Amino acid sequence: MSNSIDIFGDFAPAYTISNENQRWATSALPNASRVLTVTGSGDQALFYRLAGAKHIDTFDKTNNARVIQDIKFAAIKNFSQAEYFALLVDLFYADNISELPLMKKLMPKLPTKTVKIINTPGNKYIFGAGMDATQYPYNIPNKNEYAKLKYTLKKPFNFVRCDLYDLSAQISGKYDLINISNIFDYCYDFQKQCFILRQLTKHLSVGGHVIYLPQAANYVYEGFRISDQHRAIQYSKTLQNDRAKMILFQRTR
């Protein structure tokens, strides 16, 4: 039996910084109190908290997404804004993050499970996805946002490790908003996307939204609607900000 890890699944490299405009994406639909979002780089949860969300759960298929999210939480609570940014830059280039000077200070502050993931044999270059933090400065909290996060963050965000297709079976709550990022760009044919939306509707409050942030959408969703005797979800509208788009699906009953 091989001792190697699955670099394309459970331990796929994670992002240190989002390539989506999180300040816009998370504030485009105000008054979302309960949010479920892809974990990604951990920026999604942070900016939803800044946008006013009270309860935030996260999901991703790679354990390393949990790691970067927990690192950002601990770094904000314990480091200055300058140290936070320097750490993100260093993480992207490191093959053994536990040896970084700032990480040595942070490791005792991380959850035991997160430390175990970091120390999993063969789990190197764990933040090799995307580009380094200098390329997306707009996703670094500014001085006032950083101070607000330092004060308001109380505990690491809840994390569920699973694929989007299986997500509904792994959660039980109801949400005002579910953010699936751009996953539909590169995963699932239209039939499977319909299944996913149908299942996620069970976890949406009436009037709530699933948001999809396409970078290369493969289908046209105008006119889309799925319904049964209990609930219905349909295409609502597409928001645009500069070059970014957000496709909204809304639960109507």
Structure confidence at residue 2 (pLDDT):
38
In the structure encoding, which two tokens stand for residue 192, read together?
A: 């499977």
* pTM (2 d.p.): 0.94
Structure confidence at residue 47 (pLDDT):
98
Averages of pLDDT over each 10 residues, the chain, 253 residues: 50 95 96 97 98 98 97 98 98 94 98 96 89 96 98 97 96 96 94 97 98 95 95 97 94 97
How far the first Cα of the chain sits from its last, in Å, is: 50
**What is the Cα–Cα distance from 238 to 8, expressed in whole angstroms?**
31
Structure confidence at residue 125 (pLDDT):
83
